[in-house]
Amino acid sequence: MHKNWKISEASPVELKQSLPEVEALLVDILWNRGLESAEAIRAFLSDDIDSALSLDISGNGSLVFYNPFLFRDMQVAVDLIIKHIKEGNKIIVYGDYDADGVTSSAVLSEALITLHARTEVYLPDRVSEGYGLNNEALTQLHAQGAKLIITVDNGIRNKKEVEFAQSLGLDVIITDHHVLPENREDLPNCPIIDPADASDTYPWPFLAGVGVAFKLVSAILQQSKLEAEQKRLIAERSLDLVAVGTIADMVSLLGENRWLVKKGLAVLNQNRRLGLREIFKTAKIAIDKPLESWNVGWQLGPRLNAASRVGHANSAFALIVADKEIEAKELAFELNSRNQERQQITKNITKDVEKQIDVKNLPKIIIGLAQEDQFWNEGVIGLVAGRICEKYHRPTLIITRIVEEAEMDQRNEQIKATKLSFKSSGRSIEGFNLIAAVEECSQYLDKYGGHPMACGFSVVSEEKLNNFREAISKVAEAKLTPEMLVPQLKLDAELDFVSLNLELVGAINTLAPFGQYNLQPRFASKNLVINDIVLMGSEKQHIKLRLSSVDNPTLASFWAIAFGSADEYKELKIGDTIDLAYYLDINEFNGRREVQLKIIDFKKI
């Protein structure tokens, strides 16, 4: 599906003039990322990580991040943790089952254990327990001797569960990064560390859960009596996991997150952590050159998430903290196998959903519903929703059936469901607020939550589900305009083909690490002629185009490559003229380095 191209505006001339040392193209890109002052751009481009941020854990400026005590409840939380450490009480780090929650749990628990705290980690089961605190787990932990519960990456909406924990005599600290309840009276009555709280004084509201856990660790270390170098080493040791969780959770990679990830990738590339080293080997992730944010986002993160999607997150946590090579190898193999299983399950469900879609008469919102004999894995339906949404550029809801009660059918000796419920995961397109649409139809739902681009809900009645489907289809029909249903491709700039060179690519790569709100820059060049076409791969699934400028064919000629997309380009032939949207990259082969383009889209002229 070709897209409408939208090329970003150039930055103000005055801004470029105030930054004579910075490539004009970089100023344009960063201005469109929301960095509107020379000071902000210089800070972003600074190579001196240790002086670009504001306060470190030891107080002497050697590792500079925003002062963790800017959080309103940080001092209370630290004092409570130190009290329990001194009393020798059992402390439970209560995490979440995704990559952010698992890395958060590891960062906090490892630091507490180093400080001689009696610490254990509890990760809930994705299917049987769901997200956040639950009373059954709290009862179990209390019976096992726990005295303090510290949540990471969850808990901000668990007021009733916190009250229950406190009724058992447990102390609770909430560390989270998710949006607060609309009514502040619905907040848990305990110390809360959440940068999303607009009434708090912390200056960067976009930390991932693992970033918040790291801030708590930083604060505890700052209050400890350890030597400054010990504090620095303990904090730095966990930065690889901070980078992994931050990238995997797809939070903004601007501001403090950029520096956490940049420093964390440097630690990750030192290959210190045994478990991560083994998963790289098992998954055949190349480590002959430095790992980048996309390696984490597309290769490592999915394997950590696969643990809970087709099993339990405990195996991902165990891999991260493993200190024995045999154990690490076994866990790495298990996670890689689970990821392959997850990929196949996702592929199969996607095929099932595609059978329900009339491509010649696409609805404004796609609703894929498991049929009577289908019980799709609820751990992957969000991934399926994302694939369908991206392919057809429609808001998408994927709904699976959940067996609540079952009995044996004596006629064929098979188990049959006698009571069903339904769970859904949804993804949206820009301009359509999915959670607002769901809220308009919430009278038919039993539970729901989410944000403008993603949602989840559950319903226990098929009649209510049918009513909901009808209602949300009407909302989509009313609010989605034809223009919104045409995908937009935002491009950072139009480049003259003859201006492309290794120096320009190098300058653009100084903007890394790339991720949410700091996407890898995308460019367009027009009037290019195809000089050669090469199909690659065992099934000829990849394609390379040799391109040059129509206006200056002898001045510049580059290869442009598209992986796994040969069918989309089968209409092209040598001699055709196209406009191209692409990423800039460097191809290194046999000691040679040359500019290479990665194709995003094309328009045949």
Within 10 Å of residue 544's Cβ, how many Cβ atoms?
Answer: 18
Residues 6+ apart with CB under 8 A from 266: 239
* Cβ contact 16:37 at 8 Å: no
* Cβ contact 222:243 at 8 Å: no
* Cβ contact 515:297 at 8 Å: yes
Q: What is the DSSP letter of 224?
A: S
Neighbouring C-alpha atoms within 13 Å toward the C-beta of 247: 32
Domain assignment present for 2: no
Q: Residues 127, 166: one domain?
A: yes
> Which CATH number is 547's domain given?
2.40.50.460
* Cβ contact 152:93 at 8 Å: yes
Checking if the pLDDT of 605 tops 60, the result is: yes
Boundary residue ending a domain (268, 303, 327): 268
Question: Which amino acid is present at 30?
Answer: L
DSSP letter string, 122-144: E---TTTT-SS--HHHHHHHHHT
Checking if the pLDDT of 491 tops 50, the result is: yes
Residue whose entry in the numeric block shows the structure tokens 């005055």: 14
Mean predicted confidence (pLDDT) in 458-463:
94
Q: Residues 375, 498: one domain?
A: no
Q: Residues 87, 218: one domain?
A: yes
Within 10 Å of residue 184's Cβ, how many Cβ atoms?
Answer: 9
Q: Residues 362, 433: one domain?
A: yes
Rounded CA-CA distance 218/224 in Å is 10
pLDDT at 412: 60
Q: What is the DSSP letter of 487?
A: P
Domain assignment present for 230: yes
Segment among 157-161, 349-353, 408-412, 581-585 with least mean pLDDT: 408-412
Rounded CA-CA distance 247/420 in Å is 36
Q: State the angle between helix axes of 239-248 and 301-309 in degrees (0 to 180), rounded to the nearest 10.
A: 70
Domain assignment present for 295: yes
92 φ/ψ angles, rounded to the nearest 5 degrees = -105, 125
Checking if the pLDDT of 57 tops 50, the result is: no
Domain assignment present for 1: no
Give the pLDDT confidence of 117-172 residue by residue, as tens digits.
999 999 999 888 988 999 999 999 999 999 999 999 999 999 999 999 999 999 99
Q: What is the 3-state secondary structure (H, E, C) of 262-293?
A: HHHHHHHCCCCCHHHHHHHHHCCCCCCCCCCH
Cα 461 to its chain centre, rounded Å, is: 32
Q: Residues 583, 473: one domain?
A: no
> Which CATH number is 226's domain given?
3.90.1640.30
pLDDT at 569: 85
Residues 6+ apart with CB under 8 A from 469: 367, 369
Q: State the angle between helix axes of 325-354 and 381-392 in degrees (0 to 180), rounded to the nearest 10.
A: 50
Checking if the pLDDT of 309 tops 50, the result is: yes
Q: Residues 105, 147: one domain?
A: yes
The whole-chain average pLDDT of the chain stands at 92
Coil vs helix vs strand at 312: coil
Q: Residues 424, 560: one domain?
A: no
Mean predicted confidence (pLDDT) in 549-571:
88
Q: Residues 57, 188: one domain?
A: yes
Owning domain of residue 334 = 271-348
pLDDT at 342: 94
Domain assignment present for 516: yes
Number of domains composing the chain: 5
Domain assignment present for 4: no
pLDDT at 448: 86
Checking if the pLDDT of 59 tops 80, the result is: no
Q: Residues 238, 101: one domain?
A: yes
Boundary residue ending a domain (433, 462, 485): 485
Coil vs helix vs strand at 316: helix
Rounded CA-CA distance 75/78 in Å is 5
Label residue 66 by pLDDT band (50, 70, 90).
Answer: confident
| Predicted TM-score of the model (pTM) | 0.89
H/E stretch holding 234 reads: helix 228-237
Boundary residue ending a domain (205, 233, 268): 268
pLDDT at 56: 43
Q: Residues 20, 32: one domain?
A: yes
H/E stretch holding 403 reads: strand 396-409
Q: Residues 182, 223: one domain?
A: yes
Rounded CA-CA distance 456/143 in Å is 33
- Output the CA–CA distances (angstroms, integers) from residue 478 to 239, 330, 432, in the order listed: 47, 53, 11
Token pair of 491, please? 């491009």
Coil vs helix vs strand at 185: helix
The β-bridge relationship of strands 592-604 and 577-589 is antiparallel
Give the pLDDT confidence of 186-199 residue by residue, as tens digits.
999 999 999 999 99
Question: Which amino acid is present at 530?
Answer: I
* Cβ contact 144:171 at 8 Å: no
In the chain, % helix, strand, coil (3-state, to 5) comes to 40, 20, 35
pLDDT at 535: 92
pLDDT at 423: 95
Give the pLDDT confidence of 336-363 residue by residue, as tens digits.
999 999 999 999 999 999 999 999 999 9
* Cβ contact 580:602 at 8 Å: yes
Rounded CA-CA distance 10/492 in Å is 9
> Which CATH number is 431's domain given?
3.10.310.30
Within 10 Å of residue 506's Cβ, how many Cβ atoms?
Answer: 11
Domain assignment present for 470: yes
Domain assignment present for 417: yes
Q: Residues 115, 220: one domain?
A: yes
